[in-house]
Amino acid sequence: MPPNTNQGAYVFDAPGESDGKRRVEAGEKRHFEYPVGESYLDQPIELPVTIVNGDHPGPRLFLTAAVHGDEINGVKVLQRVANEYEPTDLHGTLVCVHVVNVPGYRAEQRYLPIYDRDLNRSFPGLADGSEASRMAKTIYDQFVGQCDVGLDFHTSTRNKLTLMHARADTDDDDVARLAEAFGAELVLSGDGSEGSLRREATEDGVPTATIEMGEADRFQPVLIERGVTGVENVMAAYDLLPETDPQPPTFGKVLESESEKTWLRAETGGLVEMAWGPHPVVDEGERVCVISDYFGAENHVVEAPFTGLLIGISANPRVLPGRPLIHLIELSDDERDAAESAFEEVGFRAQRTFHWMGELSDDIVESTLDTDDDSEDGGEAKRE
C-alpha cells in the first residue's frame, strides 16, 4: 500500500478552525477556496480546490493546473473532472487544485506578477522564504505532498503551440507507470528543472508527470477531451475507478536522450511562413519554413536536419535571429509512419483553437474532422 493511501478523512491545516484542521470525510465532496498568501490590500489570495473523497479507500491522485497563470487548457480539464466524479464512484481520493498560480492567473500572465517569479521553480517551498516559496510550500504540504501520484497540466508559452505530450522521469518505474497510464502519444523523459512541481514531488515519493497541451490563453476542446480521458485512464490504472478500462494511445513513443530533439532557430530576422504539412511530421531535408524580408525576397530556408515530429511550433509570424521556430523530435521510419497515420486519424487541425466559442467549438471541431475525412467508405470522424 502506498504511504498516503486513503483510509478515511482528508485532513489539512485550517488556522481558523478550533483544532486548526479541516476534514473532507470519506464519502464527501467539497469545493472550497484555500488561503495561500495575501495581497497588498491585506486580502487573502485563495486557491480554488475540489476534493472528492471516495466511499471506498484507495490512492490519492492530485491534479494541478495553471502553475503558469496563462496556461488554461488544464483549468478546463480540472473543471470537467471535478464535476464528473462523485464519492460513490471513487476508490480513493481526487484532489484538484484548479488554479495554482492565482496571482498570475488574475494578471493573465505566466509568472507570479511580483518580480516575475516562476512558481514552478519554487517547490517544495520554504515557510520562511520568498512569497513564491511560501505559497509553494502551502500548496505542497496541504495538497500535493498528501497524495500518492499526480498530474500537473501545462501548455506552451505564449505565441507557441505544443503538441500534446507528457514529461516524466521514466527512469523511475513509478513515474513510467504513470505516464504510460495517462496514455500520451509522446513522452519526453527527464527529471525536470529543480524546483518544478513535477521533479520535487517525484523526488519526494509522489510520482508526478507534467502534461503539456496546446497554447497558452486558449481552450482547445479536442486537447481538453484528451486530457479528461488521460485522467480517467490514470484513475482506472490506479484502481480509483476499478471498473473502468483505460483507452490506449494511438501512437506511443518515449524519448530519452537529448540528442534526439532540437530547436530549429531563425538565422535572420523577418517574416516566417511555415512550409510543412498537413501533418506535423517532416522528412530529413524537407523545407520546414521560410523567412523572408519585408519586400518578399526569400532570405532563409529552414530544412529539417532529420526526420521528425514537430512537437513545438512558433505561432509568431515575426522572428529575430536566434528565435526558436520549431521543436523537432527525431523519429525512426516506423515511428514516422505511425505518427503520420495517427494524425491522419485525428487530424492535426483538431489541435486548433476555438477558445471563445464554448460548446459551439465542439461542433466546429466535429465538422472540421468530418470535412477532412474524405474516405470512400464513409469512416467516422474520430475525436479523442
Query: In the complex, what is the shortest distance from the CB of residue 242 to Zn ion, in angstroms, rounded to a whole number?
Result: 32
Q: Cα 192 to the chain's mean position, in Å?
A: 14
Cell of 143: 495538497
Residue 321 carries which DSSP code? T
For Zn ion, which is the closer residue by CB, 71 or 232? Answer: 71
Query: In the complex, what is the shortest distance from the CB of residue 192 to Zn ion, in angstroms, rounded to a whole number?
Result: 11
Dihedral (C-alpha) 84, 197, 58, 6: value to the nearest 10 degrees? -110
Residue nearest to Zn ion (CB): 154
Query: In the complex, what is the shortest distance from the CB of residue 162 to Zn ion, in angstroms, rounded to a whole number?
Result: 9
**Residue of 196, 222, 226 lying closest to 208 (CA atoms):** 196
For Zn ion, which is the closer residue by CB, 104 or 124? Answer: 104
Angle between helices 173-182 and 221-237 (to 10 degrees): 130
Cell of 154: 501545462
For Zn ion, which is the closer residue by CB, 68 or 199? Answer: 68
Cβ count near 106 (within 10 Å): 13
Q: Which residues pair with 308 in a beta bridge?
A: 282, 330
Query: In the complex, what is the shortest distance from the CB of residue 383 to Zn ion, in angstroms, rounded to a whole number?
Result: 25
Task: Check the CA dihedral 68-125-102-21 and report its sign.
Answer: positive
For Zn ion, which is the closer residue by CB, 71 or 180? Answer: 71
CA atoms of 269 and 264, how far apart (whole Å): 14
For Zn ion, which is the closer residue by CB, 104 or 347? Answer: 104
* Structural element, H or E, at residue 48: strand 44-53
CB 48 within 8 A of CB 33: yes
For Zn ion, which is the closer residue by CB, 4 or 101? Answer: 101
CA atoms of 123 and 138, how far apart (whole Å): 10
Instruction: Give the position of cell 503539456.
Output: 212
CA-based angle 226:230:235, to the nearest 5? Answer: 150
Q: Amino acid identity of 325? A: L
Q: Which residues pair with 22 in a beta bridge?
A: 12
For Zn ion, which is the closer residue by CB, 55 or 118? Answer: 118
CA-based angle 12:15:18, to the nearest 5? Answer: 95
DSSP characters over 226-265: HHHHHHHHHHHHTTSSTTPPPPPPSS-EEE--GGGEEEEE
Query: In the complex, what is the shortest distance from the CB of residue 367 to Zn ion, in angstroms, rounded to a whole number?
Result: 31
CA atoms of 216 and 105, how far apart (whole Å): 11
Query: In the complex, what is the shortest distance from the CB of residue 82 to Zn ion, in angstroms, rounded to a whole number?
Result: 20
For Zn ion, which is the closer residue by CB, 180 or 215? Answer: 215
Query: In the complex, what is the shortest distance from the CB of residue 182 to Zn ion, in angstroms, rounded to a whole number?
Result: 17
Query: In the complex, what is the shortest distance from the CB of residue 154 to Zn ion, in angstroms, rounded to a whole number?
Result: 3
For Zn ion, which is the closer residue by CB, 154 or 167? Answer: 154
Residues lying near Zn ion in the complex (CB under 5 A) are found at: 68, 71, 154
For Zn ion, which is the closer residue by CB, 60 or 68? Answer: 68
Query: In the complex, what is the shortest distance from the CB of residue 120 to Zn ion, in angstroms, rounded to a whole number?
Result: 6
Query: In the complex, what is the shortest distance from the CB of residue 141 to Zn ion, in angstroms, rounded to a whole number?
Result: 22
